[in-house]
Amino acid sequence: MDILVTYDVNTETAAGRKRLRKVAEICLAHGQRVQKSVFECSLNEMQLEVLKHALLHCIDEQSDSLRIYRLPQPRDRYLWTFGVQHDVDYHGPLIV
């Protein structure tokens, strides 16, 4: 399933800046960055639970925001991109 992860981490403190880096590292381990605080992930149910668990143990629910969306399929029917596109379609042919 395709998942969209978005977050906003309060970086007013050193601890907040550390959380921001950790949240980004967790997301990078599960998907690809498509904007500064937005990641697309292709996961199965177990991988999604692992991702949610890691993120929920990282953020401060009193000052940070985390949103996880399950994207409808087929992806190409519901996705429009404009401007610079840096993401890679891992489901399509990969030319090296």
Quick one: how far is CA 75 from the chain centroid?
Answer: 16
Residue 16 tokens read as 């907040």
Higher pLDDT, 62 or 77: 62
Residue 87, domain member (yes or no): no
Residue 29, domain member (yes or no): yes
Residue 81, domain member (yes or no): no
C-alpha R_g of the chain: 14
Res 91 pLDDT > 80: no
Q: What is the mean pLDDT of residues 23-44?
A: 95
Residue 13, domain member (yes or no): yes
Q: What is the CATH number of the domain that holds 50?
A: 3.30.70.240
Q: What is the mean pLDDT of residues 38-48?
A: 95
Q: How many domains does the chain have?
A: 1
Whole-model pTM over 0.85 = no
Structural domain harbouring 45: 2-73
Q: State the pLDDT confidence band at 78, using cuts at 50, 70 and 90.
A: confident
Tell me how many helices (H) and strands (E) the chain has.
3, 4
